[in-house]
Amino acid sequence: MEHARPLPTHLARRYLGWKATSFAENESWYRHLAQQGQHPRAMMISCCDSRVHTAALFNAEAGEFFTHRNIANLIPPYEPDGGKHGTSAAIEFAVTSLKVAHLIVTGHSACGGARGCLDMCTGHAPELEAPHSFLGRWLDILRPGYERIKDIPDETAKLRAIERQTVIVSLDNLMTFPFIEAAVKDGRLTLHGLWIDIGSGRLEQFESARNGFVPI
């Protein structure tokens, strides 16, 4: 590997600051985590978006959330075709090996992935429809969500709706995995859907009874 470069100086300095402060204060806890392994209570699935920090949102500490982050917090359907499915591998490990009790999918406002899917499905993003577009093929997962909201006339309302569909489609797809379905049915695993509005900090959760999101 000849292309790796040294870390930018400001990041190296910030790391040294972390080492001298936060790490030093929690040295015993990090040593414990290294020796005793991780026992996270929940798996968190959220977007790659740089503005979404679920650990901060819940003042979580190292060891608490097993976290998978991908574009638009999407879970693909169960496809046991022998392919390299990173998301499916992550939930398989969390549920069957770590035996987490909670699986939390967190969507967010102003999601570039949700907007990309909306643009693609309405013919405004031909580059995403190209077969070789990794992003386009990934956002195909969200198409069933688009179908449900496509008749909303107002553009802003439609965008907000598809942002929330990222969570609903993922929860639906989670239940197509046999090991998830079994764990949910016998009470070992609970699913949760959240959506955070970045600008206002309002957190909403999906309520099955209302088939919609309500603020916490």
By CB under 8 A, the residues from 154 to 193 that bind a second copy are: 168, 171-172, 175, 183-184, 187-193
Residue 146 as a binder of a second copy (CB under 8 A): the answer is: no
Nearer to a second copy among residue 3 and residue 153 (C-beta):
3
HEC assignment per residue over 81-136: CCCCCHHHHHHHHHHHHCCCCEEEEEEECCCHHHHHHHHHHCCCCHHHHCCCCHHH
Q: Which of residues 89-108 bind a second copy (CB under 8 A)?
A: 89-94, 97, 99-102, 104
d(CA 55, CA 26): 17
Please work out the total of residues on this chain that contact a second copy, with binding judged by CB under 8 A.
128
Nearer to a second copy among residue 26 and residue 152 (C-beta):
26
Residue 143 as a binder of a second copy (CB under 8 A): the answer is: no
Q: What is the DSSP code string of 182-209? A: HHHHTTS-EEEEEEE-TTT--EEEEETT
Annotated binding site for Zn(2+): 47, 49, 108, 111
Q: Which of residues 7-36 bind a second copy (CB under 8 A)?
A: 7-36
CB of 150 to a second copy, least distance (A): 18
Find, among 162, 127, 122, the residue nearest to 146 by Cα.
Answer: 162
